[in-house]
């Protein structure tokens, strides 16, 4: 436990001394302020064109940021040899991985908090009509995205030999999950019998964190009816408060499963030297 906290602390320290973090911090702030300017005339409440475009833009930026910072942090451990050094100490691999995860998520969530904080303060001062429930939901949406994509980032970092490899894989994963997902799914699912399409689609949605989080927020914003009668029961269920708990449970399952896989990868690497 103590080891884990030490690793997390070290991660936060290096995270906030990493110029990359500040690059993303500035990018995210500029970006959220631009959104604010674009929507300064409109009401930000419920599911509308305004919140829809905000969702899309966040969906582009945050996963990319998370994948880069996360995977680079792990490959740096390998490239700079600090993991080789750490493995000689009596420190558990799990403590190391979980510590890394906690440290990185604190760094990333701080960036998100800074961006949203600035956005909230400015919109409050300007007197924009920004419904607080929508604001909170967007923060939750962003945190969810960050936490889920961070596990993917750790996976990429574990499997890559160096930063360049991590960069390439990160970009392809990002493109696959955020942009190419629908295209790939539509083309592949058309080979399946018609009745299989919906269940397969639902199952696959749980695999893609971008889709999972996006749909949850769309439904919570009150836009669930647009998904049509096919998903009526899902929508009704998620709209209730039990839906939020289910979502949190799915996220925790996701995170713990990926961390176990990452742990297994590092443990194997450690024993094989």
Question: In the window 166-205, what residues touch other proteins (CB under 8 A)?
Answer: 178-183, 186, 194, 197-198, 201-202, 205
Query: Which residue is listed with tokens 């080891």?
Result: 3
Q: Is 40 in the site for other proteins (CB under 8 A)?
A: no
Q: Is 243 in the site for other proteins (CB under 8 A)?
A: no
CB of 38 to other proteins, least distance (A): 11
Which residues make Cβ contacts (< 8 Å) with residue 74, sequence separation at least 6? 100, 153, 154, 157, 158, 160, 166
Q: Is 65 in the site for other proteins (CB under 8 A)?
A: no
Restricted to residues 102-161, the positions that interact with other proteins (CB under 8 A) are 106, 110-111, 113-114, 116-125, 127-136, 139
- CA-wise closest residue to 135 among 50, 210, 26: 50
Q: Which residue of 4, 7, 36, 50 would you call a contact of other proteins, by CB under 8 A?
A: 50
Q: Is 70 in the site for other proteins (CB under 8 A)?
A: no
**C-alpha–C-alpha distance, residues 113 and 143, integer Å:** 9
Q: Cβ of 148: how many Cβ atoms within 10 Å?
A: 23
Q: Looking at residue 81, what DSSP letter applies? A: T
Part in contact with other proteins (CB under 8 A); list of ranges 66-74, 91-99, 222-230, 265-273: 222-230
**Structural contact between residues 176 and 184, judged by C-beta atoms closer than 8 angstroms:** yes
Q: Is 83 in the site for other proteins (CB under 8 A)?
A: no
Q: Closest CB to other proteins among 154 and 177?
A: 177
Q: Is 30 in the site for other proteins (CB under 8 A)?
A: no
DSSP string spanning 168-194? HHHHHHHIIIIIIHHHHHHHHHTTS-H
Q: Closest CB to other proteins among 236 and 260?
A: 236
CB of 52 to other proteins, least distance (A): 4
Q: Looking at residue 231, what DSSP letter applies? A: G
CB of 233 to other proteins, least distance (A): 11
């Amino acid at each position: 436990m103590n080891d884990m906290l030490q690793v997390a602390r070290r991660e936060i320290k290096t995270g906030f001394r990493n110029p990359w973090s500040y690059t993303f911090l500035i990018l995210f702030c500029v970006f959220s302020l631009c959104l604010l300017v674009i929507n300064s005339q409109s009401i930000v409440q419920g599911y509308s064109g305004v919140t829809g475009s905000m969702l899309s833009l966040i969906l582009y930026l945050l996963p990319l940021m998370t994948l880069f910072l996360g995977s680079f942090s792990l490959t740096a451990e390998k490239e700079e040899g600090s993991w080789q050094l750490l493995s000689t100490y009596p420190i558990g691999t799990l403590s190391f991985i979980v510590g890394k995860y906690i440290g990185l998520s604190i760094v990333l969530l701080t960036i998100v908090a800074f961006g949203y904080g600035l956005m909230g303060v400015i919109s409050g001062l300007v007197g924009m009509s920004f419904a607080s429930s929508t604001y909170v939901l967007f923060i939750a949406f962003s945190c969810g995205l960050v936490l889920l994509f961070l596990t993917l980032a750790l996976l990429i970092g574990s499997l890559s030999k160096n930063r360049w490899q991590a960069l390439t894989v990160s970009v392809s994963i990002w493109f696959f999950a955020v942009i190419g997902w629908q295209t790939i799914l539509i083309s592949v699912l058309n080979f399946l019998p018609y009745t299989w399409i919906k269940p397969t689609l639902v199952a696959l949605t749980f695999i893609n964190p971008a889709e999972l989080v996006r749909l949850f927020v769309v439904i919570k914003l009150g836009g669930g009816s647009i998904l049509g009668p096919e998903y009526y029961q899902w929508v009704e269920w998620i709209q209730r408060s039990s839906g939020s708990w289910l979502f949190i449970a799915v996220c925790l399952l996701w995170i713990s499963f990926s961390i176990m896989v990452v742990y297994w990868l590092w443990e194997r690497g450690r024993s094989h030297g």
